[in-house]
Structure 1
Amino acid sequence: MKNLISISSKLEIFPNEIFFEIFDRLLPSDLYQAFYGLNIRLNTVLNDSRMRFRDNISSFNSKEFRSYIQNILPQILNRLVSFTFGTYDTDEYQQASCFLHTYSIDLTHFQHLRTLVIIKMTISDVPIIQSAVIRLIHLVNLRLSVDSNDVGRLSVVNITNDLLLGSRLKHVKMDMCARIVFENINQISNIEQLSIVWCQLQELTHLLQYTPQLYTLKATISGLNDSQNWIESFPINFTQQYNLRLRSLKLVIDSILFDHLLLFLQQLTELRSLWLLLNHYEYMNVDKWENLFKSSLVKLDQLDLTIALMKPILPVQTILFSTPSLICEKFNTKFWFDRGWCAKLHEYDHCIRLIVLNNMISTIKRLKRQ
C-alpha cells in the first residue's frame, strides 16, 4: 500500500511535458479507456489544450466506431494533428459515410490537423471534403480514396481550387477510381508531392500550370479527348514558362500515342528521375527514346522504364519494330551504358516485359570518372 502511495505521489510531481511525451505514443482511444477518470491529475493532462493526438480508426468495427464518435472524439477533436478514418472493407459498414452523414461530423472543427486520410468515401462526398480542406489552415498531408463500388464507367471527379490551395498543404494523394478533372483549377497551389489515379493527359498538363512548386509527381494517365487541340495549345518551353521545378516523375500510361507522350516529356527539362510503365509495342522505338534523352531530358539520372506486352506478338509488330530480343540489344548500346542504364528482357507464358533501369556498376564507374 505504501509503495502504491509512493508511486502515486511521484506521478503527481512529474511535469505535464513528461506525460505529453509518453501519451504521444499511444492512441487516444486507448489513452482515454486506460487513464481517464483514474485521478484528477491524469484528467487534467488528457484535457490540456497543449496535448496533441494522432489517431487511426479505420480498423474499428461498427460498435467500436459508434463508441469512439460518442465518447472519445468530442474530447480530442480540436487537438488532433493526424486523423485517418474510413474502412477498406466496406461490406460490413461504410465508415466514411457514417462519419460524414450519419453523425454529420464537421471536418472544419479539426483546426490543428496536419494529416488527413479518408479511405473509401463516395464520389458525392468529394465536394464536402473540398469545402472543408480549404479551412484546415495547418493541413500538410492529404490522402483521399473513393470506394470503387461507387464508381461507374463514366464517373468523373471534379477537383476545385479548394482542395489544393491550403497555404501549408504540400503532399496530396488522390485514388479516386474514376477520371479526375482539373479544369476548374485556376489558382496557384503550393503542393510539392502529388499522386493521382487517374486523369487524362490534357488534365495533367493543365494542372501543372498551377503547381510550380511540384517536385514529385506520380500519376496514372490515359489518352486525349481532343489530341489536335491539345497539341496546338500545348505551350512551348512549358517548364520555363510556368517555372516548374518537377524533378521526379512516375507514370502509368494507358492508350497514349508515343509521340504525344514524347511531346509532354520533352517539356519537363528539369527531370532527374523518370519511372514509366507502358503497354504498347510502339514504345519499343529505341531511336525516339535516345533522341528524347539527348535533346530534352539531359539532366535525367535515374531511369526505370518498363514496356509490358501481351503475347502473341503480331508479325506486323516485329516487321515495324524488330523482335523484342533485338530491341533489348539496342537498349544496351554505348549510349545507354554511358548513362548508367541497362535493359533486360523477361518472357512469361502470356507476356513479355522489357525493363530499362539503372545499372549500379556502370553508375559507380561514371561517378568515379566525374
Structure 2
Amino acid sequence: MENLPNEIFYEMFDFLDGYDIYQAFSNLNNRFENLINSSLLMTIQISSSTTLDSRYKHFLDSNKHRIISLRFSTELFFNHFIKFYTIDSSFLRLQLLVFKPMSRCILITFLFNLKFLPQLFALTMYFIYCFDNLGDIYQMILHLPVLEYLKLKISEAEQLEINIPIAANNHFSSIKYLVIDHCCTINQLMNLLLYIPQLSHLSCGCLIKSNNNIKSEMMIKLNDLIHLTVVIGDIDFNEFEEFLLRLCSQLQILNVKIHSFDKSYLNANRWEQLISQKMTSVNKFFFSYTDIIYGNFNITSHPLLNDFTASFWINRKWIFKVLAHDDELTYSIRPYS
C-alpha cells in the first residue's frame, strides 16, 4: 500500500466522504497527513450517521475552502447544520449542493447567501410540501451567477403559483440543465423559460393545462435545447404541438409520457409529419401512452400495429410496443438498442 502513487489514493478518496477520510487517515503518518492537507477536494454527506460535535465543527472550519459537494439527507440535518454555519463565500470551491428545506423563512435567507458562492454550478432541492407561490424562490435561484444545473422536486403538491416579475435589465440565468419535478402549467413553464435562454436539457415531471384560456404571448426560442423529457397531464395534442414548435427547433431527443384522454396522441401520421417536417433534428423518440381496456380486446389485430410500423418508424429503428396489463393498455415507442 505504501508503494501506491498518490494519484490512486486521490481516486479512492473521490468515493469517500470527506470527514470519513479525515477520521481514517488523519495523523496516520506523514504521507497521509500531507495528502489530506494538500490540495485534496472533499465531498460531504450529512446524514443520520453524522454527529455535529466539536470535532466535526473543527473539521468543517478548517476545510470549508476545500469542500466541492455538500449533501443533506433530511430536513432535520439541514436545519441543524445552518444553525451553526452560513454557507457563504468561505465555501469558495463548493460546486454541488443538495438539501431539503423545512422553513420558508430559513430557505429565503439561505438562497440569498448562495449568490456569494463563486463556483456553485449545481443545486438540488427536495420539498415534501411547498408554499403557495414558488415565484420568489425561482427568482432567487435564477439570479445565482454561475448555476448550470437545477432540480426542484416537490412531493406533495398539485398546481402551484409561479409568479416571476418580467426580466429587467436583460438579466438571464446561466442554467443549462433544468429538472422541474412538480406540476406546472404550460403558461408557467413558458414564462419561466424566458429567463433561461441557454437551456440545453429540460425535464418536466407534470405539465398540465392552464386554469384560463389566455395563452402566454411571451416566448423565447431555445436554440440550444436538444433534450426534452415531459410528462403530459390534461393537455390535448394541439396545445402540446404548439408548445413544442414555439419552444425549440433543434431538439434531438424527445421523451414524452402521456396521461391525457386525447386519442390524437396515438395518431402515427401526425407524429410522422411533426417530426419529419418541423422537428427534423430529432434522432431519438421515447413515447408512452396509457389507456383503459374496454370490452373484448385482441392485441394481435390492433390497428395501430400497422400505423406505427411504417417505413418512417422502421428506418429510424424506433420500436412500437403494445402491452396489456389487467385493465390497462400501454403504447410505447423507443429506439432499438
Q: What TM-score does the superposition give when structure 1 sets the normalisation length?
A: 0.75
Aligned position for 2:70: 83
Aligned position for 1:366: none
Q: Are 2:19 and 1:29 equivalent residues in the alignment? A: yes
Alignment of 1:245-324 (within 5 A): 245-267=224-246, 268-282=248-262, 283-309=265-291, 311-313=292-294
**Aligned partner of 1:105 among 85, 103, 108:** 85
**Aligned partner of 1:181 among 154, 162, 183:** 162
User: How far apart in 2 are the matches of 1:141 and 1:95?
Assistant: 20
| Counterpart amino acid of residue 239 in structure 2 | H
Alignment of 1:211-222 (within 5 A): 211-222=196-207
Change (3 A) 1:59 1:350: farther
**Shift in Å, 1:306:** 0.3
Change (3 A) 1:342 1:47: closer
| Counterpart amino acid of residue 91 in structure 2 | F
Change (3 A) 1:39 1:304: closer
- Report how many aligned residue pairs link the two structures: 322
Gaps of 5+ in 1: 1-6, 361-370
Contact 1:193 1:216 in 2 (8 A): yes
Aligned position for 2:146: 168
Contact 2:97 2:122 in 1 (8 A): yes
Q: What TM-score does the superposition give when structure 2 sets the normalisation length?
A: 0.81
Provide Cα deviations, 1:143-168, integer angstroms capped at 9, x if missing partner.
1111x2x44xx744233443133343
Three-state SS of the structure 2 residue aligned to 1:298 is: coil
Contact 2:186 2:210 in 1 (8 A): no
Change (3 A) 1:181 1:71: same
User: How far apart in 2 are the matches of 1:276 and 1:127?
Assistant: 33
Contact 2:120 2:146 in 1 (8 A): yes
Aligned position for 1:58: 47
Change (3 A) 1:284 1:324: farther
Change (3 A) 1:71 1:215: same
User: How far apart in 2 are the matches of 1:81 and 1:185?
Assistant: 33
**Shift in Å, 1:281:** 3.4
**Aligned partner of 2:97 among 105, 113, 116:** 116
User: How far apart in 2 are the matches of 1:250 and 1:197?
Assistant: 11
Aligned position for 2:178: 194
User: How far apart in 1 are the matches of 2:295 and 2:164?
Assistant: 39
**Shift in Å, 1:21:** 6.9
Gaps of 5+ in 2: none
| Counterpart amino acid of residue 106 in structure 1 | T
CA-based RMSD: 3.5
Contact 1:160 1:185 in 2 (8 A): no
Contact 1:185 1:207 in 2 (8 A): no
Q: Are 2:115 and 1:134 equivalent residues in the alignment? A: yes
Aligned position for 2:325: 348
**Shift in Å, 1:297:** 1.1
Max Rg structure: 1
| Counterpart amino acid of residue 206 in structure 2 | I
Contact 1:275 1:303 in 2 (8 A): yes
**Shift in Å, 1:183:** 2.1
Provide Cα deviations, 1:184-232, integer angstroms capped at 9, x if missing partner.
472211211111112222121122222221111111233233553216x
Change (3 A) 1:301 1:85: same
| Counterpart amino acid of residue 307 in structure 1 | Y
Contact 1:249 1:275 in 2 (8 A): yes
Three-state SS of the structure 1 residue aligned to 2:302 is: helix
Contact 2:46 2:77 in 1 (8 A): no
Provide Cα deviations, 1:163-182, integer angstroms capped at 9, x if missing partner.
13334321221113344726
Three-state SS of the structure 2 residue aligned to 1:345 is: strand
Q: Which has the higher helix share?
A: 1
**Shift in Å, 1:37:** 4.8
User: How far apart in 1 are the matches of 2:141 and 2:9?
Assistant: 36
Contact 1:29 1:68 in 2 (8 A): no
Provide Cα deviations, 1:128-156, integer angstroms capped at 9, x if missing partner.
3321222111111211111x2x44xx744
Change (3 A) 1:41 1:329: closer
User: How far apart in 2 are the matches of 1:16 and 1:287?
Assistant: 60
Bigger drift between 325-334 and 30-39 goes to 30-39
Provide Cα deviations, 1:89-112, integer angstroms capped at 9, x if missing partner.
x6xxx2122223xx2421113221
Contact 1:116 1:142 in 2 (8 A): yes
User: How far apart in 2 are the matches of 1:277 and 1:18?
Assistant: 43
| Counterpart amino acid of residue 197 in structure 2 | P
* % identical equivalent positions: 24
Alignment of 1:197-212 (within 5 A): 197-198=181-182, 199-212=184-197
